[in-house]
Homo-oligomer: A and B are copies of this chain.
Amino acid sequence: MAATPAPIEKVSIIVSKGSLEGVYPGLIMANGARAEGMECNLFFTFFGLDAIHRKRMEHLKVATVGNPGMHLPTLIGGLPGMSALATHMMTKKMEELDIPPVGEFMEMIADTGAGIYACKASVDMFHLEKNDFIPQLDDIITVGEFYEMAAGGQIIFT
């Protein structure tokens, strides 16, 4: 660690989960990257596609079962309404922090110049098409094209 290393110039963030707590970390990492002036591209794959799906993006939920971080007994976490309650609580906390809902946040991040990409294999698997996604979507690309785009930066899989 002699000289100061060159700053990170680019991050390519893969979002692979569709729960609220699975999507936000990637968006916050993307927002932080753009705030630092770094190039940033988001690549949505598998259930992560929900986060850029026109109709689903505003209905992402917090997972209350299979998520011991929620500190809820499993049978209570599984009751109807608990996921909605946890989702409501997290949404409220996000608001207090001035972190916008997913749709608005995505728009904000795209406006800063970040790229928004969907994974072709996943889009095909879920029988979706460009029209199902938010207008900020730049393109539907293959994993190979993603790697080409990510060259010279860091890949972060969330």
Contacts and interface: CB of A to CB of B under 8 A. Distances in A.
Interface in A56-94: 60-70, 73-75, 77-80, 82-83, 93-94
B158 A156 contact: no
B32 A147 contact: yes
A24 B46 contact: yes
Contacts of A8: 147, 150-151
B36 A144 contact: yes
- A interface SS class: mixed
Interface of A: 1, 4-11, 14, 16-22, 24-25, 28-29, 31-33, 35-36, 38-39, 45-47, 50, 60-70, 73-75, 77-80, 82-83, 93-94, 96-97, 99, 121, 124-126, 142-144, 146-148, 150-158
Nearest to A94: B125
Given A7-B148, A66-B63, A78 B75 contact: yes
A5 B35 CA distance: 22
A147 to B, nearest CB: 5
Contacts of A35: 143-144
A6 B10 CA distance: 13
A18 B144 contact: no
A151 B65 contact: no
Nearest 4 A/B pairs, CB to CB: A66-B66, A5-B152, A32-B143, A18-B69
